[in-house]
Amino acid sequence: MKGIIGRKLGMTTIYRDGKALGVTVIKAGPCTVIQKKTAAAGEYDAIQLGFEELPQKRAEKLLTKPLLKKFEAANVKPHRVLREIRINNPDEYNVGDVIDAGIFAEGETVDVTGWTKGRGFTGAMKRWNFRGGEASHGSKFHRELGSVGNHTEPAKIWKGKKMPGRYGNERVTVQNLEVIKVDAENGIIAVHGAVPGARGGLVIIKSAKKPRR
């Protein structure tokens, strides 16, 4: 297992073997190892990565004092983003190590985690793709949820009922995306397919948990 933090730059087309491939371009890394956890120490195997280094004055405005002390204890510069990634081989990393886009190679399969676009409070039809009522005149039931209640027993709405509410802004993982191109010098990774979130959104790229055979 290996992983890196990045930001989604957008989508483009890459031509390979006469085929047009829609790819998502991600600015990945560089990330610094801030903390290391091991199962031998009574925790679990993982490393904590810092992304987007901050100048000291800017960090003092944006970060809390405990976070600043954490970076100071690790003897690394403050970072804007902290994320933890579970790995199988934490002993291969040391605090202060820098991880860049070169850890992945073209042809590898990865899982990409991002946060979907927030769409605010929406109705049941948009949120859950309900059909709605008849569109003809006189129906009086068009873009509505319909009946949600129960009879005298149990006389309540069950938890989890699909109703209007906040739509989007959820953590989503897209699995088994192929790495089409890696530019380690500029920290760019292009993966075949769509990645959750808007341009500039934070993403985490990890080795595929269950790669396709």
pLDDT at 167 over 80: yes
What tens digit of pLDDT does each residue of 37-50 get? Answer: 888 877 888 989 99
Q: For residues 22-34, give the mean pLDDT.
A: 91
Pairwise pLDDT comparison (54 vs 211), residue with the higher score: 54
User: Looking at residue 150, what is its pLDDT?
Assistant: 82
Distance CA 177, CA 55 (A): 34
* Pair of tokens at residue 164: 């209007």
41 sits in which H/E element: none
Distance CA 213, CA 210 (A): 9
pTM listed for this prediction = 0.83
What tens digit of pLDDT does each residue of 75-127 get? Answer: 889 999 999 998 888 888 888 889 888 899 988 999 999 999 999 999 999 99
**Residue pair 50/64 in contact by the 8 Å Cβ criterion:** no
Q: 3-state DSSP call for residue 127?
A: helix
pLDDT at 208 over 80: yes
Closest C-alpha to 4, from 124, 182, 167, 171 = 182
User: Looking at residue 213, what is its pLDDT?
Assistant: 63
What tens digit of pLDDT does each residue of 57-68 get? Answer: 999 899 999 999
Check the CA dihedral 21-114-2-74 and report its sign.
Answer: positive
**From start to end of 2-123, where are the E strands?**
3-16, 19-28, 31-37, 46-53, 79-86, 98-99, 109-115, 121-122
